[in-house]
Amino acid sequence: MQRFVERHVPAVTGLLTVVSLALVFSAALRVVPAGALPRAPDPVLAAIPHVNAVISTVAFVVIAASWRAIRRGEVERHRNGMLAGVGLFAAFLTLYLYRVAILGPTGYEGPAVIERFVYAPILAIHVLLAVVCIPLLYYVLLLALTKSVSELPATNHPRVGRVAAVLWLTSFALGVVVYLLLYLF
């Protein structure tokens, strides 16, 4: 299997991206009826946004530290951190999509002018970056998992990884801003 993936990284990236985005959009558009999923107690559902804000903040720090590690030549630290970042992203996404599938998206309840000129643009950029990150993350992850450390510099991993990291960091940061606008301001 690893040899197949190694030879077909772009194709596997495309397949994983399509499957992932289908799951994301089916939850966001509530294609799966809420009754088809087990419903967590209301306090658990209410806690998910707060847990996700913490996950996002921790992920931001982990990704930034991992990026710094590779710039210092600390390959193992970079690898472990980025894998942790992927795990945090998966945890965030699982919790977020579960809550959205059960309750639907959370609406902004503040002033309409803030919603139109601050909240909506920030949310749109956050979502766009999150969607764009998915294939980039799969691509660099698959390269990292199928190539040796000595081979990676000769691949697109460093170049695509820099772009993915910047977009990923920005998406996580904007996600925290969205949370603050929805739940604290």
pTM of the model: 0.91
**What is the number of structural domains in the chain?**
1
Q: Quick check: 182 and 99 in contact, CB under 8 A?
A: no
Closest CA to 65 of 172, 153, 177, 165: 165
Instruction: Tell me the residue range of the domain where 178 lies.
Output: 2-18+38-183
CATH number, domain containing residue 9 = 1.20.120
Closest CA to 83 of 34, 129, 140, 136: 140
Please report whether residue 33 resides in a domain.
no
Please report whether residue 23 resides in a domain.
no
Please report whether residue 24 resides in a domain.
no
In the numeric block, the tokens 């590779």 are attached to: 70
pLDDT digits (tens, 9 = 90+) for 82-108: 999 999 999 999 999 999 999 989 999
Please report whether residue 105 resides in a domain.
yes
Average pLDDT, the chain: 95
pLDDT digits (tens, 9 = 90+) for 118-127: 999 999 999 9
